[in-house]
Amino acid sequence: MRAKSPSARIDALRAELDHHNYLYHVRDSPKISDQAYDKLFHELKRLEAEHPDLVTPDSPTQRVGGATLEGLVTVEHTAPMRSLDSSPELAEVERFMERIAKALGDDHDIAYVCEPKLDGASLELVYEKGRLVRGVTRGDGRVGEDVTENVRTIPAVPLKLRAAKGASVPALLAVRAEVVMPIDAFEAFNEKLIAEGKEPFASPRNTAAGALRQLDPRLVAERTLDIYVYDQLQVEPAGALGATAQWEVLEVLRDFGLRVNDLPLRVTSLDEIAAYHQRLIDARDELNYEIDGVVIKLDDLAARDELGSTSHHPRWAFAFKFPPRKEITRVLEIFPSVGRTGVVTPVAMMRPVEIGGVTVARATLHNREEVARKDVRRGDKIRIQRAGDVIPQVVERIPEKGKRRKPKFKMPAKCPSCGTPLIERGPFSVCPNSFECPAQLMGRIIHFGSRYALDIEGLGEETAKMFVEHGLVKHLPDLFELRPEQLVELEGFAEKSATALVDAIAKASKTDLHRFLYGLGIPEVGNTVARDLADHFRSFEAIRNADDEVLQEVAGIGPRMSEQIVAFFEEEHNAKVLDELLAKMDLIVPEAPAEGGKLEGAKFVFTGGLETMSRDEAKRLVEAAGGKVVGSVSKATNYVVVGDKPGSKLKKAEELGVAVVDEEGFRGLVG
Ligand code: IVH
C-alpha cells in the first residue's frame, strides 16, 4: 500500500524497518527475508535521496556517517561505571550472599538475577527523549571516550527507542552494555589480517574495544559488532521504567527495543547459582560470543540502593568467574622475548593447539624462576591454560616416563635485542637500556606519545614502527629532531601530514610535568602516581634526585615503587637520554596550592565541555586557589561549572540549589 506523500511513505518505511530490525536483533525472530528488508531499505534510500530535506539523524539509513573523526573526545558518564568484585570460588559467592543477607536482615526473601559475564568492551548508551545521543567507552569509570558515531554503526543498537508496554520513553535513559565481537566474525577478521600480512588481534574483546575507538566509522561497520544491554545507569524522571527489580529492568529494556541477552535466570539459592554456573560452562563453547563467568545481581532495586557501592564495585553484585580453559600440547622451542618495558619473558613455541575455539602456538613462561620451578624444556609435554587472550600460560609439565629430555632453559646474560647485560628484578630479567634498546624503543615511543602522556596526534603504532625500522629514531630524543622531508619518504605520509606530525611533536615538547613522567614509562608509575609525584615535588630534578625515603613521603608510594623509580633514574643510559630530552623540552610544573586561598576547601563539579581551557587546566586553577574538583553534585558542592552541552549534573545542581556558573563566571572566581 503506497501512502500519498513522500513524507508519509518515508515515515511508514522507517517504522517498518525499525520494527523488523527489532524483531531480528532483539526478539531473534525475523518475520521477513533479508532480501525483503533490503528492498524496503533501498526504497527509503531512494526517497531520501530525492528529498534530502526529509532525512533525519535517526533514520535507519543514517547509521554510518561519512566523516572521519579527528580524535576521540573525553566525556563524563551520567553515573560512575564501576567494576565488579569477583572470584572463581563458590565459597566467595556464598560469602557475598551472606554479606547481603546480613545487611538486609535475614527475614528478607532474597532473589538474585544470574547473567552471563560477557567478555567484551563496556559501554554507556544514553538516550534522550528516546533518541540515541551518546555512546561512551568505560574509560576510567568516571570519564570515557565519546564513540557515538561508531556505536551508531552497530545494527543491534536502536537509534531510537520503542514505546514499551506500560512505560513511556523516559526523558533520559542511560544504560550499561557490553559490545562483543561474535567469534565467527573475529576469526574471519583475523584471517583477513593474516592474509594481508598484518598482526592478528589477541581476542574478540580486544578487537571489539579497538573497533569502538576507530576514527573512521566506516571501518567500524566492517567489523560486525554486537551488543547486549544489562543494566540501567541513570533514568529521569526517577522510576520512569516502572521497574522495582533487575528482572523487570531487563524486560523493560527489551521492550524499549534494546538488545538484552536471553540467558539470565532469576534464582534464590546458592545451589541454583552453582548449577547455572556449570550450565554456562558447558554451553560456553557453543556460544558465538565469549563469556568468562556469571554476574550475580541482587534483584531488588531498592535494596541495591540501600547497599550502595565501594569506590571500586557495587556491594549488590558479584562476578562468579569461570576457571580458565586447559589443553595439552608439546614445546617446540623456548626463546627469550623482550617486551615494551624491557622485561625479558621466556616464551614457549608449541605445537599449535585449539583451546576454546582459538588456535594457539605460543605460551608465556613468565620469568626465570617460573621456568626453573616448572622445569619446562624443549620437547616437553605441557598443559596450558587460556583466560581471555589468545596467548595462554603454561600451567605445568606433564612427566613422560623413560623419555630423554633436552637441557634446561637458561636465561641469556645479555639482552637478545641490544646486548646490554640484563639485570635481575626479583624473578624477572630486565634490559635496563630503556630508551635505546630496539625491542623497547617502539613501545616507548608509542607510550611517550599516548593520550595521557604527551598526547601527540598521529603518532600511533604504525608510525612508531616505521620510525624505528627506518632508523629515524634511534633513541627517544631523536623524536624532536624529525623533519617533514624525512617523513614524506615513509609510507602513508604526504607533505601535509608530515608537517602536521612534526608540528604536533614540537608542540608537545611543552607539556605538564606529570604527563612527561607518565610518558617515560617508569615501572609502577601510572597516570595517578605520576600526578601525585608532580604535585608533591613540583620539579623534575627533585623527583629525579629523590632517594627512597623522600619518595615514600608521597602518599601511596611504598618501598617497592620507590626502589623501581630510583633504579630507573640511576641507570646510566637512561640518565643520558633524560638529559637530552630535558634539553629539548619545556616542562610545566603544578602551581603551589594557595594556602588560605579565597576558595579554600570549595568543591567544584564540571559538566559539559569548556571552550577556553581543558578540564586539566580548569582543575589546576581550582587547586591553585585551594579548592577541589569532585565528580558528582551533592549538597556539599559549592559550584557547578557549566560548559557546552551540560549533562544531568546541571539539573541536579538546580534541584539542590547549588551555585551554577558558566566558564566566564568560573574564570572570575579563580582569578
Ligand atoms: S554489571 C556496577 N553485568 O564485567 C555493575 N557487568 O569485570 C556493573 N560485564 O566492567 C556491571 N557482563 O563490563 C554487569 N551481565 C553483566 C556483565 C558485566 C560483562 C562486565 C562489565 C564490567 C566487567 C567487570
Residue 200 vs residues 104, 147, 187, 445: alpha-carbon distances, Å: 49, 23, 9, 22
Q: What's the whole-number average pLDDT of the chain?
A: 90
Q: Is the pLDDT of residue 107 over 80?
A: no
Whether 628 is a known active-site residue: answer: no
Whether 122 is in the pocket of ligand 1, judged by its Cβ within 6 Å, is yes
Q: What is the pLDDT of residues 584-608, one digit of tens each?
A: 999 999 887 666 667 887 889 898 8
- Which DSSP letter does residue 478 get? G
Q: What is the pLDDT of residues 511-529, one digit of tens each?
A: 999 999 999 999 888 888 8
Domains with residue ranges and CATH for the chain: 6-62 (1.10.287.610), 86-321 (3.30.470.30), 325-397 (2.40.50.140), 438-508 (1.10.150.20), 514-588 (1.10.150.20), 603-670 (3.40.50.10190)
Q: Is the pLDDT of residue 610 over 70?
A: yes
C-beta atoms surrounding 545 within 10 Å: 12
pLDDT of residue 668: 87
Give CA–CA dist 319/582, Å, rounded: 46
Burial class of residue 271 (count of CB atoms within 10 Å of its CB; 0-12, 13-18, 19+): exposed
Residue from 295, 310, 320 whose mutation best tests the ligand 1 pocket (most atoms within 8 A of CB): 295
pLDDT of residue 595: 67
- Read off the C-alpha cell for 408: 634446561
pLDDT of residue 413: 96
Whether 259 is in the pocket of ligand 1, judged by its Cβ within 6 Å, is no
Give CA–CA dist 345/479, Å, rounded: 28
**How much distance in Å is there from the Cα of 85 to the middle of ligand 1?**
10
Confidence of residue 1 (pLDDT cuts 50, 70, 90): low
Q: Which has the higher per-residue pLDDT, 324 or 270?
A: 270
**How much distance in Å is there from the Cα of 318 to the middle of ligand 1?**
9
**How much distance in Å is there from the Cα of 183 to the middle of ligand 1?**
19
**Cα distance between the two ends of the chain:** 67
Whether 264 is in the pocket of ligand 1, judged by its Cβ within 6 Å, is no
Q: Closest Cα to atom 7, ligand 1: which residue?
A: 84
Q: Is the pLDDT of residue 632 over 60?
A: yes
- Looking at ligand 1, which atom is closest to the CA of residue 115? 15
Tell me the helix, strand and coil percentages in the chain, rounded to 5. 40, 20, 40
Residue 374 vs residues 381, 411, 563: alpha-carbon distances, Å: 12, 15, 29
pTM, entire model = 0.64
Give CA–CA dist 192/72, Å, rounded: 27
**How much distance in Å is there from the Cα of 322 to the middle of ligand 1?**
14
Q: What is the dihedral of CA 534, 538, 544, 548, to 10 degrees?
A: -70
Q: Which residues pair with 266 in a beta bridge?
A: 113
- State the average pLDDT over residues 278-297: 93
Write the single-letter amino acid at 75.
V
Q: Closest Cα to atom 10, ligand 1: which residue?
A: 83
Q: At what angle do helices 438-448 and 461-469 cross, to 10 degrees?
A: 140
Residue from 84, 86, 280 whose mutation best tests the ligand 1 pocket (most atoms within 8 A of CB): 84
- State the average pLDDT over residues 86-115: 91
β 131-137/112-118 pair status? unpaired
Helix (H, G, I), strand (E, B) or coil at 605: strand
- State the average pLDDT over residues 470-478: 93
Give CA–CA dist 497/24, Å, rounded: 43
pLDDT of residue 324: 85
Whether 628 is in the pocket of ligand 1, judged by its Cβ within 6 Å, is no
**How much distance in Å is there from the Cα of 238 to the middle of ligand 1?**
22
Whether 227 is in the pocket of ligand 1, judged by its Cβ within 6 Å, is no
Helices (H), ranges, 241-308? 246-255, 270-283, 301-307
DSSP character string of 427-452: TEEE---TTT-HHHHHHHHHHHTSTT
**How much distance in Å is there from the Cα of 177 to the middle of ligand 1?**
8
Whether 113 is in the pocket of ligand 1, judged by its Cβ within 6 Å, is no
**How much distance in Å is there from the Cα of 96 to the middle of ligand 1?**
16
Whether 317 is in the pocket of ligand 1, judged by its Cβ within 6 Å, is yes
pLDDT of residue 269: 94
pLDDT of residue 66: 61
Helix (H, G, I), strand (E, B) or coil at 559: helix
- Looking at ligand 1, which atom is closest to the CA of residue 138? 10
Q: Which of 4, 45, 117, 651 is catalytic?
A: 117
Whether 230 is in the pocket of ligand 1, judged by its Cβ within 6 Å, is yes
Closest C-alpha to 429, from 521, 339, 364, 524: 339
Residue 122 vs residues 229, 231, 247: alpha-carbon distances, Å: 10, 11, 20
Give CA–CA dist 102/124, Å, rounded: 32
Q: What is the pLDDT of residues 381-411, one digit of tens each?
A: 999 998 767 778 899 999 998 889 999 999 9
Q: Closest Cα to atom 2, ligand 1: which residue?
A: 82
C-beta atoms surrounding 91 within 10 Å: 9
Give CA–CA dist 276/294, Å, rounded: 8
